[in-house]
Structure 1
Amino acid sequence: MIKKISFLVLVLTILNACISNRNLKNELKDIYYWDQIYREYFDDSTSAKRKSEIKNELFKKGVDTAKINWKLVVEKDSANIIKVEKIIAEYGYPGKSMVGKPENKAVWLVIQHSKKIGKYLPLIKEAGKKKEIPFRQVATMEDRYLMDQGKEQIYGSQGYGSFWSEEGKDYRTEYIWPIKDPENVNKKRKEAGFTNTIEEYGKEIYGKDFVYKVYTLDDVKNNKIEIKEGKHPNH
C-alpha cells in the first residue's frame, strides 16, 4: 500500500512539473512574440508585405495599428523585464531542457534589451555553459555589456552609429564598436558559433557598401570616426 501511494505521489509530481513547464513555455512564447513583433515591424529590411501582415496580427490582438510607434517597444520591454525577473526568481534560467526552442531564448532577448545585463550576465554565462542557450548569445550579451561600459568588445557583435542634420544636410557614423583583439576576431567569432566574418556582419547591418574599419577606444573618444553624408541607406 505504501509503495502504491509513493508511486502515485511520484506520478502526480511529474504531471505537475509537466503542466508547470507547459505553462511556462506558453508564457515565454508570449514574451518572445511581444519582444520581437514591433522590432520586426520597424526593421528596415522588413518588406511592405510583411509589415502589412504584422499590422493585421496586431489589430486582431487589440492594438490600435494607427498608432504604432517605438514607444510601444519601450512599453513592452518594461512589462517583459518584470515578468522575466519573476520567472528567473522561481525557475532560474528557463533553458532548452526546461522549455525547448525557441522559448529558451525569450529570457535572453528581454535581458539583452534591458538595462539589467550586468545583473544577469553571470546567469546567462552559466546557461551557455550548460548549453541551455547557444554560446553566441552569451557572446553577444557580453559584447553589449562591454560596449555599454565603454570597453572593447570581444566578438564584434555590436555595431554603433549616430545620425544628425546640420545646415540642411544629413550626416551619419556607422561602425563596429572597438574590438579587443581585432586580428583574431573572426577566429573567435567562429569558435563562439557566429556563421559570418566581421566584414560580412558589417555589411549585414549597414548595407553592402559598408567597409569594415578597425577603430580604437581613443578613436571613439576623440571623434576620429569617419563621417558620411546622407541618411542611412535603409532609412
Structure 2
Amino acid sequence: MQFENVKSTSLEPNSPLEKRVFSLMKKTISDNISLEGFRALIANSQQIEIIFCLEDNQEIGFMYCGTYQLNNKLIIIRSMLGMLTQYRKDSLKKAKLVLTKSMFSIKMKHLNKQVCLVSVIINPLVYAGLCSYWRQTYPSPNVSMTKKYQTILESCSDYFNWKMNKDYVVKIPFSIFIEEKDIQRINQHNPYMIYFFSRVFSTNWDEGIVTVTPVNLMNLFSLTFRSIKKGIQGLVGK
C-alpha cells in the first residue's frame, strides 16, 4: 500500500480535493452523509492533513487529521479513517500506524501545549480498541473521569455544537457502515462494549460516545506495549 500526503489550512468548498475526500468518505464510512454534514465535520480547523491510501494506483481509503486550537494551552485533533471493505483486513493496521504517527507528529510541534484526540465513536469495536490500546481514554470503565477531561469534553461539545448528553453521547446526522461480520464480533462480555451499550441505545449506528484521549508519553507507552504484546501472542498462536 502506498500513501499520498496532502497538508493544508482548509478544505476549500467545491475544490478537487474536497470532492476527492467526500467521495471516499461516502464509499468507506457513510453513504448517507450530506455534503453539508461532511463540511460541518471539518469546519474551523486550523490545519488539516489528508493521507490517501493507494493500491496499484487506485484509491482504497483515506485518513484525515484536523487540528483545532480551543485556547492558548489546548490543541484538539479530530481524525477519520475510511477503507474500502475488501482492503480492510490487509491494510487497516498499517493505515492506523500512519495515522498514529501523524498524531504524535502534531504533539511534537506543540510540546508546550496539551494535545488531545477527541472522537465521536459510533462503532463499539472501535471504542473497545481505543480504550484497550490508549489506556488513558475518557470516558472509560477503566479510568475515572477527572474534572480536567470533563471540561475538555464540555468545551468541545460547545465548540462543535454537539448537544452532548450527561453520558457524553451525541447523535450525528448520518449513519455509518458496520459490516455484518463486525456486528458478529461484538462481544457482549467485553467490559468496554458493556460500557458502550450502557450509554448508546440506537440501533441505527447514528449515535456515539464522545471520547478524549491525551496524546502523551503515557499513551504512547501503552500503545507500544499493547502492540508488542499482541504481536507476541500472534506468533505464539501460529
Q: Which has the higher contact order (CA 8 A, sep 6+)?
A: 2
TM-score > 0.5, shorter chain as reference: no
Which structure carries more strand by proportion? 2
Which structure carries more helix by proportion? 1
Q: Which of the pair has more CA radius of gyration?
A: 1
Q: State the TM-score, normalizing by the size of structure 1.
A: 0.32
